[in-house]
Chains A and B, each alone.
Chain A
Amino acid sequence: MQDFKVELLQKDNVQVVKIAGILDAHTTGELEKYFDKLVFEKKYHVLVNLTELNYISSAGLGVFMAYVETMRENNGDIKFAELQDKVFHVFDLLGFPMLYEFYKKEDEALKKFIEG
């Protein structure tokens, strides 16, 4: 596998998914497995930390699009934190800031989940 890594942590009732490296059509399949697992385990509060993500293409964004409604139907959400400017630029091109919450720091996003 090329430069791509996913790390899963739990903070309170929030699942923190840390994605590092490159998220393109080659690596999205791997990320989908993690999201399938979260849904299977009924873990619907998902915070995606992208501080170490260096590149994303639309294939990567497609994963977040495919799962967010399932999370929201179960009173959860997918929120994003700590994106590099070049990565946020791609989310912005597709209008994600209108449909998802983005935070500068992971703590802010966590607080939002906990306080509701």
Chain B
Amino acid sequence: MKTNINEISIQSKTENLQLIRNFVQEIASNCELDSSVIADIVLSVDEACTNVIEHAYSSDTKGEIILKIECADDKILIEITDFGVEFNPISVPKPNIAKHLVEKKAGGLGVYIIKQLMDEIIYQRKDENTNKLTLIKYRDQIA
């Protein structure tokens, strides 16, 4: 398979999550992946972009999110870049769901989902204003 790279730039609004999911779905569908794996990747990217909108940009809708998907022989790689405040999802602790219920709050759920569904997560803070999160799913680790 030839490595294929696709990229889009999207404004940081929750109403664009549908656009983000459609983009990932379309590209991933051309990567010869099982539909359940594609659904897991779509959900992971949704969770990561929701965090960018809510945390890196604090729900300011004028921010930019750049989404790059690389479909390679051995893996599918998604890069999510934003220019908001530093937000490192890897440092978010595992949520204690039972405790969340009692405290009537939720948080850290999205990151926990991404960690369960993707094989590798890399976070980089660059140039003092750029967050880059890379999510990788390896083909040989797909059950």
B47 at the interface (CB under 8 A from A): yes
Name B112's contact: one of A2, A59, A94 (CB within 8 Å): A94
- The distance from the CB of A87 to the nearest CB of chain B, in whole angstroms, is 10
A116 at the interface (CB under 8 A from B): no
- The distance from the CB of B37 to the nearest CB of chain A, in whole angstroms, is 12
Complexed CA–CA distance, A59 and B105 (Å):
11
Name A94's contact: one of B46, B107, B113 (CB within 8 Å): B113
A58 at the interface (CB under 8 A from B): yes
Contacts from B to A (Cβ < 8 Å) = 14-15, 17-18, 21, 36, 39, 43, 46-47, 50, 53-54, 95, 97-98, 100-102, 104-107, 109-110, 112-113, 116-117
Known: A93-B116, A94-B113; 16 extra A-B contacts, CB below 8 A, are A2-B18, A22-B18, A24-B14, A25-B46, A26-B17, A57-B46, A58-B50, A58-B112, A62-B106, A62-B107, A62-B109, A65-B104, A65-B105, A67-B104, A68-B101, A69-B104
